[in-house]
Structure 1
Amino acid sequence: AEVPAHLADRPVTGLASDSRAVRPGDLFFAVRGGHRHGLEFIDTARAAGALAVVWEPPHAGVLPVGEAAPPLLAVPELRQRMGLIASRFYDAPSERLRVVGITGTDGKTSCAHFIAQALSDAEHGPCGILGTLGVGEYGRTEPSPHTTPDPLAVQGWLAQLAAAGRRYAVMEVSSHALDQGRVNGVEFAVAGLTHLTRDHLDYHGTPEA
């Protein structure tokens, strides 16, 4: 998408895909969901001070226009590209860390915690950890709504670890997260597979998917 000239020199202060979390100067990402499109919440994002709206076509409704409407940037397949955009916004934080990704049907949580414990030391501090039991650093996490959060949250977490001088991060990566692009833009140093069963075929269709 071409950036409007009047936005080129305006600093973006943050990224949000939930209109309720938008702060002044943020880019609001309006993606297509299973039942609703993020553009339906554009008024909330605008009222909160969104600098612009990056949206995912197609959209059957009428796009907001006029002086009160924020600038709109259409990006095809936005859901798959959000992680790449966020990685660039945060200056590629995963490249400043050694990131371990663990996927598989079962055992991700145990493996991730064992590895995070082993990688935490006095020299480099606690290892970053993200998964079913929360997100943060080993021994100090906050609840997470998903095993692998949305790509904006993932990149923001990696950026915090890099800024704090951490060296390692361990992530549980669900099959849904892989399919939905939540870890796109993450540079993994190591990837591990626990095992594969026929769970979640209602979503993926076949084991090959």
Structure 2
Amino acid sequence: MSLAKLRALVDGRSAADLADLTVTGITNRSGEVRPGDLYAAVPGTRTHGAKFAAEAQAAGAVCVLTDAEGSDAVAASHVTLPIIVVPDVKAVLGEASAYVYGAPASRMRMLGITATSGKTTTAYLMYAGLAAHGHTVGLIGTVETLIGTRVIAHVPGSSFTTPEAPDLHALLAVMVESGVDAVVMEVSSHALQLGRVAGIGFDVAGFANLSQDHLDFHLDMESYFAAKSLLFDGRSKIHVCNIDDQYGARVARLAPERTVSISPSGLSAAWRATEVDDSHLEGCRFVVNGPDSSGLSVELALPGRFNVANGLMAIAMLAQVGVPPTVAVPALRDVVVPGRMQRVVEGQDYLAVVDYAHKPAAVSAALSALRPQTAGRLIVVLGCGGDRDQAKRPLMGEVGARQSDVLIVTDDNPRSEAPDTIRAQMLDGARAVPLAERAEVIEEGDRGRAIELAVARARSGDCVLVAGKGHEHGQYVGDEVLEFDDTMRLRAAISASRTTRRYGGADEDGPDQSAEENAE
């Protein structure tokens, strides 16, 4: 693509003549520059990307896109590449990336879903519905990236729910080349506020819910809501909003003329769920009532009332891009999402579940869904991530202590923080619950040992919930990523426990004294 046209697109200035220069790619990471790329030198929290312009030039970059500060740094480093200078690189990076890769989003149906909880599940449901309707579908989200049925092992920037703008547009371009004609994307508040989805127009966007999370990044709930609302600032043709959620109702009022409302509780809305049955761990059932399809029975292999909301959102969004409920509903029946209310069965006589719930509302919803399925005690293993919203930690502890029978407070991904400090904040919330209403509270920092403790306590009719990490395969501790998989650890603990009990190698009345010493 023409660098001169790109400069005009981003309203930039350059001392060099760009008339005969072209660019074939764009990246904001100097270590990933390929010959022909535009290097976007972005200011960071610790240093400016312009300091790596020489590295980018050596790798084959043909131009640098940066701000005034970056331009001075590039000049000081004696880099000979032409420079396009703009006031704010991040503000134009999405549009620039879209231009460089030929506006790939405009050549596919784009469906974006935003929410505090349920984005991943809703995205998988929509993926299944689109595929059933004959589309070749792309999926961009927290768990994985799919091009059709092909899993992409590594996408640059894929540690984020929504990749950085250059990576995202490059990925969309690859999807176009691969024959994808519809893309389902999870859209995070970070992505919206940081401009990662700039340059993308959505055919339909969904707002499912908002609850406390990410207040380490957003100043408060209003700031968090304002970031989510950016998906509905005109870049999406149709808005599908869950009006049962107070924030969803607010989004619905932003542009009533392009809004389609849904109500999982059966309130007056364009799409309603009625005759809800969420009493089975094997899944949930409801009847969908919509503008063109009413009285259609829906069955999901996903338990809990919150999955009724996810299912209804998926059906309503799919209808806006031409997938009728008569096609979508059968396709949703067998969808299973990794690490989302995932049952672990190793022949035990109690329930064992792994779920990604890592915020107060999500943990509460998971426990509420499991309580009716639990004849005995509800045992939960729960931690909080480091370098993230600290305000939610006591809330997580309180929810766990109030809604379970045994709460085992452990480590999640402590990252750079002291794990015992994180656990102490959770325990403060747990101990704030009146004693008569409080679960038995145990602290065990080693997550693997915490899972083993939960399994050791479980008896017939109980339920063990391991919450927080879901599909993740690693644990972030300091600068290391340790191999860790909740599902595998839970499965191994159950197998070992069954073997031990079978041959009489442990006291079946409970864990050993050292574990009891951790109890409150």
TM-score, length-scaled by structure 2:
0.38
- Map of 2:143 onto structure 1: 133
- After alignment, is 175-184 or 153-162 more displaced? 153-162
Say if 1:132 and 1:172, in contact at 8 Å, map to a contact too.
yes
Identity %: 38
Query: What is the aligned counterpart of 2:102 among 71, 85, 91?
Result: 91
**1:69 counterpart = 2:83:** no
- 1:177 equivalent in structure 2: 191
What is the letter of the counterpart of residue 100 of structure 2? F
Q: Does 1:58 align with 2:69?
A: yes
Q: 2:164 aligns with which of 150, 156, 180?
A: 150
Q: Give the equivalent residue in structure 2 for 1:108.
A: 119
Cα gap change, 1:122 to 1:102, in 2 (>3 Å): closer
Query: How far did residue 157 of structure 1 move?
Result: 1.4
RMSD: 2.1
More deviation in 78-87 or 5-14? 5-14
Contact 2:141 2:185 in 1 (8 A): yes
Distance apart, 1:63 and its partner CA: 3.6
Where 1:177 maps in the other structure, the secondary structure is helix
Contact 1:25 1:51 in 2 (8 A): yes
What is the match of residue 19 of structure 1?
Answer: 30
Give the AA of the match of 1:199. Answer: D
**Residues in 2 aligned to 1:26 and 1:119: alpha-carbon distance in whole angstroms:** 34
C-alpha separation between the residues in 2 aligned to 1:60 and 1:152? 20
* Cα pair 1:56 1:79 within 8 Å, conserved: no
Aligned AA for 2:147?
Answer: E
SS at match of 2:176: helix
For residues 159 and 68 of structure 1, what CA distance do their matches in structure 2 show? 30
Residue 161 of structure 1 aligns with an amino acid whose one-letter code is M
Q: Residue 16 of structure 2 contacts residue 83 of structure 2 at CA under 8 Å; is this kept in 1? A: no
* In structure 2, distance between residues paired with 1:111 and 1:124: 17
- Matched to 1:86, the amino acid is S
- Using the alignment, how far apart are the partners of 1:60 and 1:3 within structure 2? 10
Kindly indicate whether residue 216 of structure 2 is the aligned counterpart of residue 202 of structure 1.
yes
Q: When the two structures are aligned, how many residues end up with a matched partner?
A: 208
Match of 1:12, SS state, is coil
The 1:67/1:201 distance shift into structure 2, 3 A limit, reads closer
Q: Which runs of 5+ in 1 are unaligned?
A: none
Q: Where does residue 44 of structure 1 map in the other structure? A: 55
Per the TM alignment, residue 8 of structure 1 is displaced from its structure 2 partner at its CA by 1.9
Q: Secondary structure at the match of 1:43?
A: helix
List gaps (5 residues or longer) in structure 2.
Answer: 1-11, 224-520
* Contact kept in structure 2, 1:117 and 1:138, CA below 8 Å: no
Give 3-state SS (helix, strand or coil) of 1:203's partner. Answer: coil
Give the aligned residue type for 1:177: A
> 8 Å contact 2:51–2:73 — kept in the other structure?
no
TM norm structure 1:
0.90
**Aligned with 1:202: secondary structure?**
coil
Q: Which has the higher helix share?
A: 2
In the alignment, is the contact (CA less than 8 A) between 1:136 and 1:157 conserved in 2? no
Report the AA paired with residue 198 of structure 1.
Answer: Q
AA matched with 1:84: E
Cα distance between partner residues in 2 of 1:84 and 1:45: 21
